[in-house]
């Protein structure tokens, strides 16, 4: 599928739930979240119908997101089933890691192609403060288990908050030293509760890392679906990556669409648009689904306008990160 800017669209980020077992301060309010009813969320069958048809339209890569996807009881079974869809080449998962120790072996068995684990700090108290309810030791146990069962392509994602100290940045980066896992710093995006939070730029983080670990050498190979730019550090088994949607806009290479947990197709994270696919999925109406997807893709914007306008008013957990 090509959009009107000649970009090949072959990647879908599919949110399977808007629920999460954490309450990160930049993502959700502490109380008063209004979650989707089970009947409003896409069912197992609707997801398979959607992805089978998206594969026919040229989608090859699927990222399972949330909320927190591992809070949905059938996520592993879903991954296993998606892996059998003709045309889908890669299925990856993004998780907060809280339940990962429990699911890592099953995910390996399901032949997951890669996993992103969010870790914003290695300080247990700070982790609890950011997530309001989370225990860092559970996430670290999940990461350890993922390494132990040899899940492929393990990445740690750290939101580049303004509060991160130089020591914390170096400590988090050092996760990529002894194990072949990649650590990525994600620029804070002005979405939902992330609006107004101070962040650190890629350049600031690079300079901190270079002072401690020496020169960062650009690494040109792709390490997954995403738009990260990667660097090698001498003595590190994994790479250091940066995803900087504002500072280093990657919209020109955008290959993605998103589907929310209730079946809304979004062609850009920032845009307050969206096309409701639920009816086509419920009625298994392939023609309607094709028409809706193809028409939405023609309207995909050339780039985000985070710096100029308000954009989508929903929270990150509701859009699917
Ligand atoms: S901001 Fe929109 S256009 Fe840019 S990379 Fe993200 S989804 Fe694609």
Query: What pLDDT, in 10s, does the model give residues 104-113?
Result: 999 999 999 9
Ligand 1 atom nearest 271 alpha carbon: 2
- CB-CB neighbours of 298 under 10 Å: 12
pTM, 2 dp: 0.90
CA–centroid distance, residue 299 to ligand 1 (Å):
13
Q: Which band of pLDDT confidence, cut at 50, 70 and 90, is reported for residue 190?
A: low
**What H or E segment, with its residue span, contains residue 105?**
helix 100-109
Residues of the chain above pLDDT 90, percent: 76
Radius of gyration of the chain (CA): 19
**53-72 tens-digit pLDDT:** 999 999 999 999 999 999 99
Question: What does the alpha-carbon distance between residue 29 and residue 318 come to, in Å, rounded to a whole number?
Answer: 12
Is 170 marked as a binding-site residue? Answer: no
CA–centroid distance, residue 181 to ligand 1 (Å):
25
Question: What does the alpha-carbon distance between residue 72 and residue 68 come to, in Å, rounded to a whole number?
Answer: 8
Nearest residue (by CA) to ligand 1, atom 7, is 268
Nearest residue (by CA) to ligand 1, atom 1, is 304
Question: What does the alpha-carbon distance between residue 161 and residue 192 come to, in Å, rounded to a whole number?
Answer: 15
Q: Which band of pLDDT confidence, cut at 50, 70 and 90, is reported for residue 117?
A: very high
- DSSP notation for 44-65: HHHHHHHHHHHHHTT--EEEEE
């Amino acid at each position: 599928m090509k959009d009107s800017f000649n970009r090949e669209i072959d990647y879908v980020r599919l949110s399977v739930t808007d629920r999460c077992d954490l309450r990160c301060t930049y993502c959700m309010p502490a109380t008063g979240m209004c979650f989707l009813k089970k009947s409003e969320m896409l069912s197992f069958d609707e997801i398979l119908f959607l992805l089978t048809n998206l594969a026919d339209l040229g989608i090859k890569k699927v990222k399972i997101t949330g909320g927190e996807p591992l809070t949905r009881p059938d996520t592993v079974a879903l991954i296993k089933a998606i892996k059998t869809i003709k045309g889908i080449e890669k299925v990856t998962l993004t998780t907060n890691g809280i339940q990962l120790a429990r699911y890592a072996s099953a995910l390996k068995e399901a032949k997951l192609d890669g996993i992103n684990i969010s870790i914003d700090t290695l300080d247990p108290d700070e982790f609890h403060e950011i997530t309001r309810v989370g225990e860092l030791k559970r996430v670290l146990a999940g990461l350890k288990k993922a390494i132990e069962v040899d899940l492929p392509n393990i990445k740690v994602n750290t939101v580049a908050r303004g509060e991160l100290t130089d020591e914390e940045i170096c400590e988090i980066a050092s996760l990529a030293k002894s194990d072949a896992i990649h650590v990525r710093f994600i620029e804070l995006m002005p979405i939902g509760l992330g609006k107004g939070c101070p962040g650190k730029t890629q350049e600031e983080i690079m300079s901190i890392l270079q002072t401690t670990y020496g020169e960062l050498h650009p690494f040109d190979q792709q390490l997954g679906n995403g738009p990260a730019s990667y660097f090698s550090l001498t003595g590190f088994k994994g790479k250091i990556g940066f995803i900087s949607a504002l500072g280093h806009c990657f919209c020109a290479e955008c290959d993605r669409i998103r589907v929310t947990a209730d079946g809304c197709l979004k062609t850009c994270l920032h845009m307050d648009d969206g096309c409701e696919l639920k009816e086509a999925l419920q009625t298994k109406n392939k023609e309607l689904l094709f028409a809706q997807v193809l028409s939405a893709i023609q309207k995909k914007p050339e780039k985000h306008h985070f710096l100029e306008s308000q954009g989508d008013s929903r929270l990150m957990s509701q859009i699917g990160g």
